[in-house]
Structure 1
Amino acid sequence: MFIYVVKAGDSLFSIASKYQVNMDSIRITNGLQIPNIVPGQDLLIPTNVYIVQPGDSLYKIGQMALVPVETIKLYNGLHTNNLSLGMRLYLPPRTKYRAANFSYLTPTTPARDIELINQFADSNSYYGVFEYHISNDGTLSPLYLHSINTLSRQKQVAPIAVISNLTETGFSSEVARSIISNPTIRQQAVNNIYNVVKDNNFAGVNIDFELLKDYDAADYVIFIRMVRNRLSPEGYTTSVALPAKTDDTTPWTKGYDYKGIGAAADFVFLMAYDFHHGGGEPGPVAPVNEVRQTIQYAKNHMNANRIILGVPNYGYDWTMAEDGSVISARAIAVGDAVNTAMSYQVPIQYSTQYQQAHFEYWDALGNRHIVWFEDSRSRARKLQMVVDYKIKGIGIWQLGLSFPQSVHLVRHFLSKRIVI
């Protein structure tokens, strides 16, 4: 396969004809509900044969196919970089990196749960089942699992119980503090987590305590170590979701001791996104340089084989005022962002600096919107980082948010490591 960026005047028919690919296969691979594609839109073309077009070079084709130039030359018996118009090049599969990927999913209906479990099982080693709310006394909320854990295990995906400090008003640092700072409640919380994991046939736990303060750092490491010490003897894993951290000076990440947590847990999920979010100004959600810095910082504080790079299946749509200030913002799935651009027939731009897609549109009320989101090119860059840094795998927040091309790209770069 290769990534094609739509040009002005293109149609699905013309692209399919140019590359001699079935038009419906392009539509299905990219999850297209409407045919009116727009300039700048990225499409995965599902074929292993590339037909050389005017202006092509081996370098350009290698970038589109995500395959090294020398590999293309080797498989096609090429001794020079010279190409001729209409030449058919075989696009060989990449050498896949063996990874243990982790994706979050939220139970909804039995039918939808089954659909998601089956659709993504061959590209995931873990499903983080989101989530059990923890109270300030260490008790856990109920979670209706249907048959998620049984089905996941049948597909050789380890079901993981996600425990968070999320409340009706958002993530609560006070709830987390009340648990991790009190030895009695802390022990009770550990016992409750163990019981949930054991009683519901989970393979482990993922702790997602967000908005911790700097004075929580040491207690949080103690808590994670206690959880692991309770679970590990019976073969259960302990993982931790961590906010993106690139240095030791940023105030809102001082509550997370990467070195301590990296040693206490079996592995971590780096939430390398929301560098711009709904509560701030428009901008790239997962810019490439900041994501790279997050991985490098983590690698400096823990073993690479304990790091999962978390990536977003979403972006944000900011509604702007006339003076350029933000009126409101909402998270938007990647597929919905692309559908919005297609519906309003506006071109999609791509920032080479941030490696993120973006566009603007005006709604029916005359409001200007700015949208930034992850696309196939962005996702490919993140997957290459997994390979280059030799980390444990990639992680998705979250399954159920439409990003049709993502699973194809994961399969292109990575092979599944079975952990159960």
Structure 2
Amino acid sequence: MFIYVVKIGDSLFSIATKYQVSMDSIRTINGLKTDRLVPGQDLLIPTDMYIVQPGDSLYSISRMSFIPIETIRLYNGLQSDVLMIGMGLYLPPRPKYESENLSYITPSTPERNQMIVQEFSPINTYFGIFEHHVLEDGSLSPLDDRQLIRLSRENHVAPLAVITNLTPTGFSPQLTSRVLNTPEIRERLINNIYNLVKSKNYAGVNIDFEQVREGDRDLYSGFLRSLSERLRPEGYYTSAAVPAKTSDAIPWLKGYDYGGIGAAVDFVFIMAYDWHEASSPPGPVAPINEVRQTIDYALNHMRRTKIILGVPRYGYDWTMSNGTVDSARAISVSSAVETAMKYQVPIQYSTEYQQPFYHYRDEMGKRHIVWFEDSRARAQKLMLVVNYQLRGIGAWQLGLHFPQSAVLVKEFTISKKII
């Protein structure tokens, strides 16, 4: 398998003919709803034979297939780097990295729940079932999660109860502070989480407290430690979702002590995305340099086997007005590509950030800027997981359509099963 980037003049037929694969195989693996293509669109080509094209080199083929040049040389008995147009090169299977992967899932209709669980179970160790809200007295909001828990276990994926500090007005640092600073409420919350996990047959918990204040830093780590001490004796997992940090100097992230959190829990899901988001100027959602710096920072504070690298299944579409952001919305990867097709604008790719982007004008003449994740970007992050030997990779969230992502995860990893 390799990633092909659509060029001007390409059609699905011409690409299939060029690489001697069926059009249906390209449609299926890429989840294509139409045969229309747009320049810059990335396509997975499902074959282990590469047909050399004009302008190809071992370097370019290596980058398309994520297979080292030396490996391609070895398996094809090449004595030099000279390639002949039309010659076939065997692309050997990549060594699979055993990982524990975690993806978030939100309850939906029974039919959709079943479809998503069955589709993504082969590549996940854990499903984070989103979400139970913490209330001011330490109780938890209800959630219709029983079908997802049952389906998860039937498909050998460990269900985790996701507990958040989300309120009707957004994530609440005030609520978090009240809970952490009031011993009786904190203890009540720990008891309620324990009872939830035990009574509903969860495998453990994933705590997603966002915007934790600097003054609550040690209290938060202590809360996670106490929760883990309550759950671990009965074999339940304690994990935490944390924002991406590249240093200790970022004021709004000082509430997260990577060392303390990493020591308290079984593993950490690092939300390595939203460097640019709906309330920010346009830009890459998960730029590769910042993701790498986050891993480097985390490894200075916790073991690599504690880290699940969180990656996005989405991007943002910013509407601009006189050079400033008028509004913005999150869009799935598939929606981003479909919008580029609709307005017939080429998709560009930043090699610096390893993320795609494009500009377009809508029917009202308003200018839009779109940044998102694609196969090339996802493969780069999978390479980080393998090269750094992290615990695994995880995604927010499975309801957002990104058909190539699961294929790539299978290409690079084998998901460990623990139940």
Band of TM-score, shorter chain: over 0.9
Residue in structure 2 matched with residue 20 of structure 1 by the alignment: 20
Q: Structure 2 CA distance, aligned partners of 1:80 and 1:124?
A: 41
Q: Structure 2 CA distance, aligned partners of 1:90 and 1:200?
A: 49
Residue in structure 2 matched with residue 415 of structure 1 by the alignment: 414
Q: Structure 1 CA distance, aligned partners of 2:84 and 2:154?
A: 49
Q: Does 1:389 align with 2:388?
A: yes
Q: Using the TM superposition, give the Cα deviation of residue 147 of structure 1 relative to its aligned residue in structure 2, in angstroms.
A: 1.6
Retained in 1: the 8 A contact 2:272–2:286? yes
Q: Using the TM superposition, give the Cα deviation of residue 374 of structure 1 relative to its aligned residue in structure 2, in angstroms.
A: 0.7
Residue in structure 1 matched with residue 327 of structure 2 by the alignment: 328
Q: Structure 2 CA distance, aligned partners of 1:197 and 1:299?
A: 30
Residue in structure 2 matched with residue 57 of structure 1 by the alignment: 57
Amino acid at match of 1:71: T
Q: Using the TM superposition, give the Cα deviation of residue 101 of structure 1 relative to its aligned residue in structure 2, in angstroms.
A: 0.4
Partner secondary structure for residue 249 of structure 1: coil
Q: Using the TM superposition, give the Cα deviation of residue 152 of structure 1 relative to its aligned residue in structure 2, in angstroms.
A: 1.1
CA-atom RMSD in angstroms: 0.8
Q: Does 1:272 align with 2:272?
A: yes
Q: Does 1:359 align with 2:393?
A: no
Retained in 1: the 8 A contact 2:3–2:43? yes
Q: Using the TM superposition, give the Cα deviation of residue 34 of structure 1 relative to its aligned residue in structure 2, in angstroms.
A: 2.1
Residue in structure 1 matched with residue 45 of structure 2 by the alignment: 45
Q: Structure 2 CA distance, aligned partners of 1:85 and 1:365?
A: 47
Q: Does 1:95 align with 2:109?
A: no
Any stretches of 5+ residues in structure 1 without a counterpart? none
Residue in structure 2 matched with residue 250 of structure 1 by the alignment: 250
TM-score by length of 1: 0.99
Kindly provide the CA deviation profile for residues 332-390 of structure 1, in whole angstroms up to 9, marking residues without a partner as x: 00110000001111000000111110001111111100000011111011000001111
Retained in 2: the 8 A contact 1:224–1:265? yes
Q: Does 1:5 align with 2:9?
A: no
Q: Structure 1 CA distance, aligned partners of 2:12 and 2:101?
A: 33
Q: Using the TM superposition, give the Cα deviation of residue 75 of structure 1 relative to its aligned residue in structure 2, in angstroms.
A: 1.8
Q: Does 1:344 align with 2:343?
A: yes
Q: Structure 2 CA distance, aligned partners of 1:72 and 1:191?
A: 56
Q: Structure 1 CA distance, aligned partners of 2:78 and 2:145?
A: 54
Q: Structure 2 CA distance, aligned partners of 1:167 and 1:25?
A: 45
Q: Structure 1 CA distance, aligned partners of 2:314 and 2:264?
A: 31
Kindly provide the CA deviation profile for residues 82-108 of structure 1, in whole angstroms up to 9, marking residues without a partner as x: 211111111111001110000000010
Q: Structure 1 CA distance, aligned partners of 2:383 and 2:231?
A: 33
Amino acid at match of 1:140: L
Retained in 2: the 8 A contact 1:131–1:162? yes
Retained in 2: the 8 A contact 1:110–1:146? no
Residue in structure 1 matched with residue 133 of structure 2 by the alignment: 133
Residue in structure 2 matched with residue 318 of structure 1 by the alignment: 318
Partner secondary structure for residue 60 of structure 1: helix
Q: Structure 2 CA distance, aligned partners of 1:381 and 1:182?
A: 44
Retained in 2: the 8 A contact 1:157–1:418? yes
Runs of 4+ aligned structure 1 residues displaced above 3 Å come to none
Retained in 2: the 8 A contact 1:38–1:345? yes
Amino acid at match of 1:246: T
Q: Using the TM superposition, give the Cα deviation of residue 146 of structure 1 relative to its aligned residue in structure 2, in angstroms.
A: 4.0
Q: Structure 2 CA distance, aligned partners of 1:169 and 1:27?
A: 41
Q: Structure 2 CA distance, aligned partners of 1:413 and 1:58?
A: 21
TM-score by length of 2: 0.99
Amino acid at match of 1:311: V
Residue in structure 2 matched with residue 290 of structure 1 by the alignment: 290
Kindly provide the CA deviation profile for residues 58-103 of structure 1, in whole angstroms up to 9, marking residues without a partner as x: 1111111111112122222223222111111111110011100000
Amino acid at match of 1:359: Y
Partner secondary structure for residue 207 of structure 2: strand
Q: Structure 2 CA distance, aligned partners of 1:110 and 1:72?
A: 46
Partner secondary structure for residue 238 of structure 2: strand
Q: Using the TM superposition, give the Cα deviation of residue 136 of structure 1 relative to its aligned residue in structure 2, in angstroms.
A: 1.5
Q: Structure 1 CA distance, aligned partners of 2:137 and 2:381?
A: 39
Retained in 2: the 8 A contact 1:359–1:371? yes
Amino acid at match of 2:90: Y
Q: Structure 2 CA distance, aligned partners of 1:256 and 1:394?
A: 20
Residue in structure 1 matched with residue 29 of structure 2 by the alignment: 29
Retained in 1: the 8 A contact 2:6–2:43? yes
Kindly provide the CA deviation profile for residues 194-240 of structure 1, in whole angstroms up to 9, marking residues without a partner as x: 01101111000000000111001010011000110000000000000
Retained in 2: the 8 A contact 1:163–1:208? yes
Amino acid at match of 1:342: M
Retained in 2: the 8 A contact 1:334–1:402? yes
Q: Structure 2 CA distance, aligned partners of 1:25 and 1:369?
A: 33
Q: Structure 2 CA distance, aligned partners of 1:200 and 1:78?
A: 58
Q: How many residues align?
A: 419
Partner secondary structure for residue 400 of structure 1: coil
Amino acid at match of 1:407: A
Kindly provide the CA deviation profile for residues 284-307 of structure 1, in whole angstroms up to 9, marking residues without a partner as x: 000011000111111100000000
Q: Structure 2 CA distance, aligned partners of 1:27 and 1:345?
A: 19
1:62-141 equivalent positions in 2, closer than 5 A: 62-141=62-141
Partner secondary structure for residue 147 of structure 1: helix
Residue in structure 1 matched with residue 370 of structure 2 by the alignment: 371
Residue in structure 2 matched with residue 405 of structure 1 by the alignment: 404
Residue in structure 1 matched with residue 190 of structure 2 by the alignment: 190
Q: Using the TM superposition, give the Cα deviation of residue 27 of structure 1 relative to its aligned residue in structure 2, in angstroms.
A: 1.3
Retained in 1: the 8 A contact 2:146–2:200? no
Retained in 2: the 8 A contact 1:137–1:178? no
Q: Structure 2 CA distance, aligned partners of 1:154 and 1:330?
A: 35
Q: Structure 2 CA distance, aligned partners of 1:212 and 1:99?
A: 29
Partner secondary structure for residue 191 of structure 1: helix
